[in-house]
A and B are shown apart, each in its own frame.
Chain A
Amino acid sequence: MLVNSYSKKIFNLAYQFSGNYEAAEDLTQEIFLKLYGSLQKFDFSRNFTAWLLTLSKNYLIDQYRKTKREKSSRDEFDEHLVAADRRDGPEESAVQRENQKLVWYGLSQLSPDIRMAVILRDIQGKSYHEIAEIMSLPLGTVKSRVNRGRLQLARILQTESEVGHGM
C-alpha cells in the first residue's frame, strides 16, 4: 500500500522542510491527497519515488510561498528530533549538539529552493543525479544550490560561535 511504503519518507521531508511537526502532518496528508488525484497521470517509464518526491517538493515549496508560516514556528530542536535519535550516546559532544540545533534553525533562513536541495542532499543522502531529477534542474544548478546552502549554514555557525566567544 502506498501509504505504508511512503508515509515516513514524505512526512520526514515535510518536517525537515517546514520544521513544524503539526504542519508537517497536514502537509503530508495534502500530499497524499494530491498523489491519489494524480496517479492517473503517472508515466510508468519514470521512477515512482522520484516522481512522488517531485510532487511533494512542488507542493511544499508552493505552500511555503503561500503561507510562509514556518518562519515563525520552527519546532524546538529537542522536541521531536532528540527523542527520535537513538544514535545519541554519552560520547556525543555538547558542541556537536549545539551545531545540530543551529543548523536546524538555520534551515529556515535558506530560500525554499536552496533548503530543499540541502535537505535532499545532506539529510536524506540523495545523489546529485537523483536531486536533479526530483527538482527538474541541471546537475550544475543543483550542486551550486547545495553549495550555497551549506555556505550560508556555515556562516550561521561562524556568527554564533563568534557571538559565543564574545560573551
Chain B
Amino acid sequence: MECERWEGRLAAYLEDELGGAERTAVEDHLQACPACRELLDLLRSVQVSLRSIPEVEPSPALQRRLAAVPDRKKRLRFGFDLFLNPSLQPVLAAATVVLTLISFYAFSPRRSSINKSFERQIHLGYHKIAKLYTQAESLASSLAGYKDSLMVSLQTTYPLQRDEE
C-alpha cells in the first residue's frame, strides 16, 4: 500500500519529467523497494512494446472504398439538395397539407361523425343531381312539344304557298 503513492511518479520518472529533488526521492525509494523496481521494469517493457507495434498498410480494397467516398457523399448531397430545391416547395407544401388533413381524419376521436357528415353531404349531392336530372327531362319534353307545334305551323304555311304557284 505504501508503494501506491509512488506509482504515479514512476511514469513521470520514466519520461524524465521530475525535478531534481523529486527524482532523487524516487531513486532512493527504488533502491529500497524491489516491488517498485519490478513495476518500473514492467512499465519500461510496456512502453517498449507499445512503441514497437508497427503501422499496418490499409488494403487496396479499402483504398478504393475511400477513394469513392467523395463521390458517394456528392450523390447523397445531390439527393438532399434536390429535396430542398425551391421549385419543389409548392408540391411539398401541398403534400404536407394533404398529409395533415389525412392525419387529422385518421386520428380524430370524432371520426364516425365526420364519416356521417360526409355521407350526408354525398346523399344531398346525389339528391340534387337527381332533381336536376328530372328538371332537365321536363325541359327536354317541353322543348319537344315546342318543336312539334313549330313543325305543324311550318307544314301548314308551306303547302299553301305551293298551291298558289
Contacts and interface: CB of A to CB of B under 8 A. Distances in A.
- Do A and B share a complex? yes
B144 interface: no
Interface residues of A, number: 42
Contact of B46 (A7, A87, A103, A143): A103
A3 interface: yes
Nearest to B14: A150
A150 B56 contact: no
Given A7-B62, A103-B46, A85 B52 contact: yes
Binding site of B, secondary structure by majority: helix, strand, loop or mixed?
A: helix
A73 B72 CA distance: 29
A3 B54 contact: no
Contacts, number: 109
A80 B54 CA distance: 9
A86 B8 CA distance: 34
A100 B52 CA distance: 8
Interface string B86-117: 00000000000000000000000000000000
Given A12-B55, A158-B38, A96 B62 contact: no
B7 interface: yes
B65 interface: yes
Binding site of A, secondary structure by majority: helix, strand, loop or mixed?
A: helix
Contacts of B12: 143, 147
B135 interface: no
B22 to A, nearest CB: 15
Interface stretch (A30-38, A41-49, A52-60): A30-38
Given A25-B62, A147-B11, A157-B42, A36 B70 contact: yes
A158 B40 CA distance: 11
B53 A16 contact: yes
B119 to A, nearest CB: 52
B63 A154 contact: no
Interface in B50-76: 50-59, 61-63, 65-67, 69-70, 72-73
A123 B51 contact: yes
Given A7-B66, A33-B73, A158-B38, A123 B53 contact: yes
Interface of A: 3, 7-8, 11-12, 15-16, 21, 25, 28-29, 32-33, 36-37, 80-81, 84-87, 96, 99-100, 102-104, 118, 122-123, 125, 143-144, 146-147, 150-151, 153-155, 157-158
Interface of B: 7-8, 11-12, 38-39, 42-43, 45-59, 61-63, 65-67, 69-70, 72-73
12 contacts: A3-B63, A8-B58, A29-B65, A81-B54, A81-B56, A84-B56, A85-B54, A103-B46, A104-B49, A123-B51, A147-B8, A157-B46
